Amino acid sequence: MLTDWPKLHGDFFRHQKALVTGGAGFIGSHITEGLLDLGATVVVLDDLSGTGGSWENAEVLEPKAGGRLTRITGSILDKPLLARIVPGCRYVFHQAALGSVPRSVEQPELYTHVNVVGTLNVLEAARAAGVARVMFAASSSAYGDTPTLPKIETMPPSPRSPYAANKVACEAMLSGWAASYGLDTAALRYFNIFGPRQNANSAYAAVIAAFAKAIVAGQDPVIFGDGEQSRDFTFVDNVVQANLLAARSTRPIQGQVINIACGQRITVNELAAQMARMMGRPDLKARHEPERAGDVKHSLADLARARQVLGYQPVVGFEPGLNATVQWYHQVLTASI
Ligand SMILES: NC(=O)c1ccc[n+]([C@@H]2O[C@H](COP(=O)([O-])OP(=O)(O)OC[C@H]3O[C@@H](n4cnc5c(N)ncnc54)[C@H](O)[C@@H]3O)[C@@H](O)[C@H]2O)c1
């Protein structure tokens, strides 16, 4: 990986035990990898129900785990299981969720059950076990489609889908649990995360994964709308860094919502052209299809709170992150053709 975690965090996590829910998924597997690099013992809980979840993501970490990685196939809906595995963990990095916005519109009950009741279960198990802090994977979708940029945490949430509503409900729970029970929590609002191990085969694949798949297959990447929509694309190491900083905070975070992003806006047209160049296919030109209903035009994070509360700043910029990601997709997608 691109980031030297021991250089950034020294011995802080050595011999510490942490639970990563959703650790067989894309982001969870990177948090797990960072923790393993830092000498921590990691329990990963995943029921493999998400489009991105696969034990292959955690298996690649076994060589560096040295017996410090435990993989449990199970659900955050299983309270007795949580009651068995959370005690002894100092930190919980709660990444498990069903993650697709369009699917959440089709299946609001299932999404709310897994995402909200599942989070309730994680918070209750963490409270009972005296966990030092729960880090929660919140989402920039909480901002909805308001045109104001950059997005600042003080803006009122405006969820536009069951998925976004689930995430906002969880943020509220985190703050409520911190105030009522002294269980410290942090709600890290991720903006468009990308990187190696993000699933390219899902119907809901994130745009970078979808472009990579098209380019490797020699097809023009498809852009919905005019491509001038922009996003704060954020390399996954930055999310790992934010989670590690939140865990290390010497002051209580008390459920604060904190944007985690790169702080730079890239248009989808720029992204497609850059990826085609990086993957040696500058001849491929984006094909435009009608705009998708509900797509937000622009997204950009204000990072002042992340800097102030966590001392966060991105550790990997957009271009080096994209380069590493593109190389990874090239390797795995070429092998699977
Ligand atoms: N990728 C992004 O850009 C992004 C942006 C904002 C927020 N998030 C949030 O970050 C977290 C991780 O996202 P990701 O991109 O790695 O997705 P992912 O689908 O790769 O990972 C989520 C994991 O959670 C697991 N899971 C789902 N339901 C579960 C359950 N009931 N019990 C145990 N495990 C369960 C899935 O199997 C999967 O492995 C999610 O909470 C997601 O909502 C992601």
- 203 part of a folded domain: no
Average pLDDT value over all residues in the chain = 94
* Whether the predicted pLDDT of 224 surpasses 80: yes
Q: Mutation test of ligand 1: which of 103, 190, 191 has the most ligand atoms closer than 8 Å to its C-beta?
A: 190
Specify the pLDDT at position 204.
60
251-290 residue pLDDT tens? 999 999 999 999 999 999 999 999 999 999 999 999 999 9
* Whether the predicted pLDDT of 51 surpasses 70: no
CA of 138 to the centre of ligand 1 (A): 10
Eight-class DSSP state of 316: S
- 212 part of a folded domain: no
Helix, strand, coil share of the chain (percent; to 5)? 45, 15, 40
CATH of the domain at 10: 3.40.50.720
What is the number of structural domains in the chain? 1
* Whether the predicted pLDDT of 229 surpasses 70: yes
Local structure of 291: helix, strand or coil: coil
Q: Which domain holds residue 136?
A: 5-191+236-262+295-316
CA of 281 to the centre of ligand 1 (A): 31
> In whole angstroms, what is the distance from residue 103 CA to residue 106 CA?
5
Please check whether residue 58 is in contact with residue 29, taking contact to mean a CB–CB distance below 8 angstroms.
Answer: yes
Give the residue whose CA is nearest to atom 32 of ligand 1: 75
> How many CB atoms neighbour CB 200 within 10 A?
19
> In whole angstroms, what is the distance from residue 128 CA to residue 125 CA?
5
CA of 39 to the centre of ligand 1 (A): 24
> In whole angstroms, what is the distance from residue 298 CA to residue 157 CA?
16
Residues with CB under 6 A from ligand 1: 21-22, 24-28, 45-53, 75-77, 95-99, 114, 118, 137, 139, 190, 192-193, 206
- 152 part of a folded domain: yes
- 215 part of a folded domain: no
Strands 193-194 and 133-139: unpaired
Closest ligand 1 atom, residue 163 Cα? 43
* Whether the predicted pLDDT of 214 surpasses 90: yes
- 9 part of a folded domain: yes
Q: For the whole model, what pTM was predicted?
A: 0.97
- 226 part of a folded domain: no
CA quadruple 302, 31, 27, 94: dihedral positive or negative? negative
CA of 284 to the centre of ligand 1 (A): 31
Confidence at 52, pLDDT banded by 50, 70, 90: low
Closest ligand 1 atom, residue 198 Cα? 20
Specify the pLDDT at position 333.
82
- 230 part of a folded domain: no
58-109 residue pLDDT tens? 788 889 899 999 999 999 999 999 999 999 999 999 999 999 888 999 999 9
Give the residue whose CA is nearest to atom 5 of ligand 1: 190
148-191 residue pLDDT tens? 999 999 999 999 999 999 999 999 999 999 999 999 999 999 99
- 145 part of a folded domain: yes
Q: In the chain, pLDDT over 90 holds for what percent of residues?
A: 85
CA of 37 to the centre of ligand 1 (A): 22
Using alpha carbons, select from 138, 181, 165, 158 the residue that is nearest to residue 27.
Answer: 138
